[in-house]
Amino acid sequence: MAHKRMVVEAELAGLAKEFRLKSGKTKIEAAAELGVRRSTVQLAEENPEQSLHRLRIRMIEKYSPFTVVGPMYVLKRK
């Protein structure tokens, strides 16, 4: 069975940075590969309150062996 881990959206920024660093890529190299500016990579990694979750997911999937499935919403009966 594949390894699964539940994370909240705020954790994606830290994971994106961690996996980029482990891959040995600089922010400039990552930005070029992902088709964004270096400043956007900076915001995605350092500002979890920024609405850049799609870029964070792309970074995680590019620089790690994981895919991101989500978001997950739980419906609870009233």
Question: pLDDT tens digit string along 51-76?
Answer: 999 999 999 999 999 888 877 766 67
Q: What's this model's pTM, rounded to 2 decimal places?
A: 0.85
pLDDT at 1: 36
The token pair that represents 50 in the structure block: 């920024």
Task: Mark residue 67 as left, alpha or beta (left: phi above 0; alpha: psi -120 to 50; beta: remaining).
Answer: beta
Mean pLDDT (the chain, rounded)? 88
Give 3 or 68, the one with higher predicted confidence: 68
Assign 3-state DSSP to the chain and report helix, strand, coil percentages, each to 5.
Answer: 55, 0, 45
Every domain of the chain and the residues it spans:
9-63
Do the Cβ atoms of 66 and 60 come closer than 8 Å? yes
pLDDT band at 7 (very low <50, low <70, confident <90, very high): confident
CATH architecture of structural domain 9-63: Orthogonal Bundle (1.10)
Residue burial 33-44, b: 16+ Cβ < 10 Å; e: rest: ebebeeebbebb
